[in-house]
Amino acid sequence: MKDIALIMQRALDGAWRRHELLANNVANAETPGYKRLELDFRSALAEASAKNRTTLVATSPRHIVPSQPVEIGRVAQDLSSITPDGNSVDIDREMGEVAANALYYSAVTGQLKAHLALLRKAITEGRR
């Protein structure tokens, strides 16, 4: 159960970091020579999830060593240009990515809320 919450926490951290990069891209849409940045955190999250499942080491029959922290994602710079001044930001694309990222963040938040509600119900044995 703890792994699920940890994965969702990392997903939220990645979505937050991606939103920061997208906001930076939007802010620099008119800056000559600016190259857009992108965060690929979903593949890093998938790698971390797979890695955590295979690298847990039990120190005794009743204990599990906590997993190692992983990077949130990889920041990549788009070296292409779409404007004569060398800027690679397409404002329409960026705003679409911001909206998609907001939906993703909202979906993960909803899943985390439902997970915590189940844990709360189990702890209180169904009582309020």
For 68-125, what is each residue's pLDDT tens digit?
Answer: 554 566 677 777 777 888 888 999 999 999 999 999 999 999 999 999 999 889 898 8
Query: What's the pLDDT at 70?
Result: 47
Determine the pLDDT at residue 45.
65
For residue 126, the model assigns a pLDDT of 73
Residues 88 and 78 sit within 8 Å (Cβ to Cβ): yes
Q: What is the pTM of this model?
A: 0.70
Mean predicted confidence (pLDDT) in 35-60: 68
Q: Which of 126, 113, 107 is nearest to 42 (CA)?
A: 107
Q: What is the mean pLDDT of residues 57-76?
A: 59
Q: Check pLDDT > 70 for residue 31.
A: yes
Which 3 state secondary structure label does DSSP give 21?
helix
Residue 35 CB neighbours (<10 A): 17
Stronger pLDDT, 102 or 38, i.e. the higher one: 102
Q: What is the token pair recorded at 26?
A: 């939007």
Phi, psi at residue 108, to the nearest 5°? -65, -40
pLDDT at 107: 96
Tokens of 74: 């990889």
Q: What percent of the chain has pLDDT over 70?
A: 71
Report the C-alpha gap between 122 and 64 in whole angstroms.
Answer: 22
Contact (Cβ atoms closer than 8 angstroms) between residue 125 and residue 60: no
36 token code pair? 């857009």
